[in-house]
Chain A
Amino acid sequence: MTLTPEWNVTEETPVPEGHVRLTIDDQLIDAPKGELLIRTCERLGIIVPRFCDHPLLDPAGACRQCLVEVEMGGRPMPKPQASCTMTVADGMVVRTQHTSERADKAQQGVMELLLINHPLDCPICDKGGECPLQNQAMAHGRADSRFVERKRTFPKPLPISSQVLLDRERCVLCQRCTRFSEEIAGDPFIDLLERGANQQVGIAEDQPFQSYFSGNTIQICPVGALTSAAYRFRSRPFDLRSTPGTCEHCSSGCDMRTDSRRGTVLRRLAGNDPEVNEEWLCDKGRFAFRYLGSGGRITRPMVRGTDGELAEVSWTEALRVAAEGLLAARAGAGIGVLPGGRLTVEDAYAYAKFARVVARTNDVDFRSRPHSDEELEFLSAHVAGGAPDGAPGADSVTFEGIENAPAVLTVGTDPEEESGIVFLRLRKAWRKKGLRHFQVAPFTTTGAGKTGATVLHAVPGAEAAVVAEPGADVLAALGQPGAVILVGDRAAESPGLYSAVSGLAARTGAAIGWIPRRAGDRGAVEAGALPTLLPGGIAVTDARARTELERIWGVGAGELPAEPGRDGDAILAAAASGALDALVVGGVDPHDMADPAAALTALRRVGFLVSLEIHSSAVTELADVVLPVAPDAQRSGSYLNWEGRRREFGVALDATGVLPDCRVLDTLGVEMDADLFTQTPAAAAGELARIGTRRPGTGAPTRPAGTAHRPGPGQAVLATSRQLVDDASLAVDEPALAGTARRPYVKVNAATAERLGLVEGEDAAVGTDRGTITLPVALADLPDGVVWLPTCSPGSHVRPTLGAGHGDLVGVTPVGNGRVS
Chain B
Amino acid sequence: MSTPEKEPVRAPDPVTPVLTRRWTSPRSWSIDTYEQLGGYSSLRTAFAAHPDQLIQLVKDSGLRGRGGAGFPTGMKWGFIPQDDGSGTGPGAKPKYLVINADEGEPGTCKDIPTMMADPHSLIEGCIVTSYAIRAHFCAIYVRGEALHCIRRLRAAVREAKARGYLGTDILGSGFDLEIVVHAGAGAYICGEETALLDSLEGRRGQPRLKPPFPATSGLYASPTVVNNVETIASVPAIVTGGSDWFRSMGREKSPGPKIYSISGHVERPGQYEAPLGITLRELLELAGGMKDGIPLKFWTPGGSSTPLLTAEHLDVPLDFEGAAEAGSMLGTTAVQVFNETVSVPWAVMKWTEFYKHESCGKCTPCREGTYWLAQVLQRMVRGEGTTEDIDTLVDVCDNILGRSFCALGDGATSPITSAVKYFRQEFLDLIASQPDVERLEQLTDVKLAQRTNGTALSGASA
Contact = CB atoms under 8 A, between A and B. Distances in A.
Interface of A: 59-65, 67, 78-80, 85, 105-106, 109-110, 112-114, 116-117, 146-150, 152, 172-173, 191-192, 194-199
Given A146-B392, A194-B361, A113 B405 contact: no
Interface in B354-400: 356-365, 367-372, 375-376, 379, 388, 392, 395-396, 398-400
25 contacts: A62-B363, A64-B403, A64-B404, A105-B399, A109-B399, A110-B364, A112-B399, A113-B396, A114-B368, A148-B440, A149-B376, A150-B375, A172-B364, A173-B361, A173-B364, A191-B204, A192-B204, A195-B361, A196-B356, A196-B357, A196-B360, A196-B361, A197-B356, A197-B359, A197-B367
A80 B402 contact: yes
Given A148-B440, A152-B371, A196-B357, A62 B362 contact: yes
Give the size range of B's interface with the partner: 35 or more
Nearest to A115: B368
Contacts of B399: 105-106, 109-110, 112-113
B1 interface: no
Interface string B292-310: 0000000000000000000
B10 to A, nearest CB: 42
Q: Chain A at the B interface: mostly helix, strand, loop or mixed?
A: loop
A116 B368 contact: yes
Given A152-B371, A196-B360, A198-B361, 15 more contacts: A62-B362, A63-B363, A63-B364, A80-B402, A109-B365, A109-B395, A110-B403, A114-B368, A150-B375, A173-B367, A196-B367, A197-B356, A197-B361, A197-B368, A197-B371
B48 interface: no
Given A116-B372, A149-B376, A192-B204, A78 B365 contact: no
A199 B405 contact: no
Contacts, number: 103
B187 interface: yes
B209 interface: yes
B274 interface: no
B189 interface: yes
Interface of B: 187, 189, 204, 206, 209, 356-365, 367-372, 375-376, 379, 388, 392, 395-396, 398-400, 402-405, 440
A67 B363 CA distance: 12
Nearest to B370: A196
Contacts of B372: 113, 116, 147, 149
Contacts of B395: 109
A612 to B, nearest CB: 55
A397 to B, nearest CB: 32
A113 B365 contact: yes
Nearest to A200: B361
A192 B356 CA distance: 17
A85 B209 contact: yes
A63 B364 CA distance: 5
Contacts of A152: 371
Most buried by B among A61, A85, A148, A152: A148
B365 A110 contact: yes
A114 B209 CA distance: 21
Contacts of B371: 116-117, 152, 196-197
B222 to A, nearest CB: 19
Nearest to A194: B361
A60 B367 CA distance: 15
A199 B361 contact: yes
Contacts of A197: 356, 359, 361, 367-368, 370-371
Nearest to A199: B361
A505 B5 CA distance: 78
A60 B362 CA distance: 9
A62 B358 CA distance: 17
Contacts of A194: 361
A147 B376 CA distance: 9
B390 to A, nearest CB: 12
A193 B34 CA distance: 44
Contacts of B369: 113
Nearest to A198: B361
Contacts of A110: 364-365, 399, 403
Given A59-B209, A61-B209, A62-B362, A149 B368 contact: no
A280 B217 CA distance: 31
A-B pairs with the 10 shortest C-beta distances?
A109-B399, A199-B361, A149-B375, A79-B402, A113-B368, A196-B359, A197-B371, A195-B361, A196-B361, A64-B364
A600 to B, nearest CB: 55
Contacts of A116: 368, 371-372
Contacts of B206: 192
B243 to A, nearest CB: 31
A35 to B, nearest CB: 15
Nearest to B388: A146
A199 B360 CA distance: 8
A147 B369 CA distance: 11
A266 B305 CA distance: 52
Contacts of A117: 368, 371
A302 B405 CA distance: 67
Contacts of B375: 149-150
Nearest to A67: B403
Contacts of B388: 146
Given A78-B402, A197-B359, A62 B392 contact: no
Which of A80, A106, A191, A194 is packed against the most chain B CB atoms within 10 Å?
A106
A147 B371 CA distance: 11
Contacts of B440: 148
Given A61-B209, A62-B363, A148-B440, A196 B405 contact: no
